[in-house]
Structure 1
Amino acid sequence: MIWRLFLLVVVAYALGFMWFAAALPQPRFEGETDAVIVPTGAAGRIDRGLEVLDGGKARMMLVTGVDPEVRPAEFAAEFEVSMERMRCCVSLGFDAVDTRGNAAETADWVAENRIRSLRLVTTDWHMRRASGELRQKLPTNIRIVEDAVASEPSLGILFLEYNKLLATWASRLVPV
């Protein structure tokens, strides 16, 4: 009996991983939101966020999880953003150090700026966990558009992220 249960868990885990790896979230180009939220991390995220902002699909942008050593002028120079654009429309969040922290930092910023809709821009393999954490922190009336940055993740990255996603789901099931 215990072997059957063990086998069932292994099969469910393997099928879940295959779904996770084969059905990664996709980019979303249509629609407008009040803001675009970009957690730091993999390449292409900030560029996509700035593309959304410059395309008029959002009026403000938060980059969450920025290294405290980074200054706005350095960020502006690296991503070719004018200081005028930085002052009006781009906020750098320095408090977050992980995905859960990104969600908390975003929730505070959303409340402070009276945001009603946002576009989450993160890497395809990171979207499910980042979106889930964000939905846990935000009020239910905030609309979230998931705009994944396409990537070619290694099997190792997919495996690690899948296990982090499962751990996140499990942590919600167990009362603290």
Structure 2
Amino acid sequence: MTRLLARLRKFFQPVTLLLFGLVLVFAVGFLAFSDKVTNMREPASVPAADGIIVLTGGQSRIETAIALLKGQHGKRLLISGVHPSTKRQALQRFTHADDALFNCCIDIDRSAQDTVGNATESAKWVKANDYRRIIVVTNNYHMPRSMAELSRAMPDVEFIPYPVVRTDLNQDSWIKQGDALRVLMTEYVKYLGSMARAAISAPQIAESSAPSGA
């Protein structure tokens, strides 16, 4: 019995240390992610771009993107991730965009159901318009994952982040608010998943793009 307990202790000690290390890395990464996100602010000035992409699903995203379009920061706007049942007229009323602007310069993507889908559909739109510089509008907590997915789908395109800051995700109070903490933790886990997919797919992409032997 004593020998068995000694073996168990010998086995579990490195496992415990490994688990502790993983938890520590996760916690440090989460704090760094949260610090970066909660310190984001809407930029005071935005360089002109070819187009603007807004990813639906969060506070004031579409209104902000339309304001940028009105300010002539981009030639066209793609609203990505609109629910298939949402009519164009209803979206126009919701955003208070005037007829001329909405009809001339706003495109709607109803196919994307998540951030990966946003990137896929956005890539089609960017390629069709031959754009090279894009302003990306989404909430601050969603920006790191959005930029990662868009950059992976379009490595030759320059993306300019325009974060829309959630009022409860600020530098001083997020850690004290359950809802804000939950949003950040959920997004951090999704961001890690995005990074894991990128790491897995990178060797495959490199192999497929490598020149074949003679």
Asked if Structure 1 and Structure 2 have the same fold, meaning a TM-score greater than 0.5 normalized by the shorter chain, the answer is yes
Aligned pair partner of 2:52 in 36, 44, 69? 36
- SS in structure 2 at match of 1:115: coil
Aligned pair partner of 1:8 in 14, 21, 38? 21
With structure 1 as the length reference, what TM-score do the two structures score?
Answer: 0.94
| Ranges of 4+ aligned residues in structure 1 off by more than 4 Å | none
2:160 counterpart of 1:145: yes
Q: Distance in 1 between matches of 2:157 and 2:199?
A: 23
Aligned pair partner of 2:31 in 18, 36, 46? 18
CA RMSD of aligned residues (A): 1.4
2:175 counterpart of 1:160: no
* Cα deviation code 1:24-65 (max 9, x no counterpart): 143223211111100110111001101111111111100000
Deviation at 1:142, TM superposition (A): 1.2
Partner of 1:172: 198
Bigger radius of gyration: 2
With structure 2 as the length reference, what TM-score do the two structures score?
Answer: 0.78
Q: Distance in 2 between matches of 1:65 and 1:30?
A: 24
Gaps of 5+ in 1: none
Which has the higher relative contact order, 1 or 2, with Cα contacts under 8 A spaced 6 or more apart? 1
Where do residues 1-176 of structure 1 align in structure 2 (5 Å cutoff)?
1-24=14-37, 25-28=40-43, 29-138=45-154, 140-151=155-166, 152-153=168-169, 154-175=180-201
Report % sequence identity. Answer: 27
- SS in structure 1 at match of 2:46: coil
Gaps of 5+ in 2: 1-13, 170-179, 205-214
Structure with the higher helix share, 1 or 2: 2
Deviation at 1:77, TM superposition (A): 1.3
Q: Distance in 1 between matches of 2:125 and 2:200?
A: 28
- SS in structure 1 at match of 2:78: strand
- CA 1:3–1:20 in 2, change beyond 3 Å: closer, same or farther? same
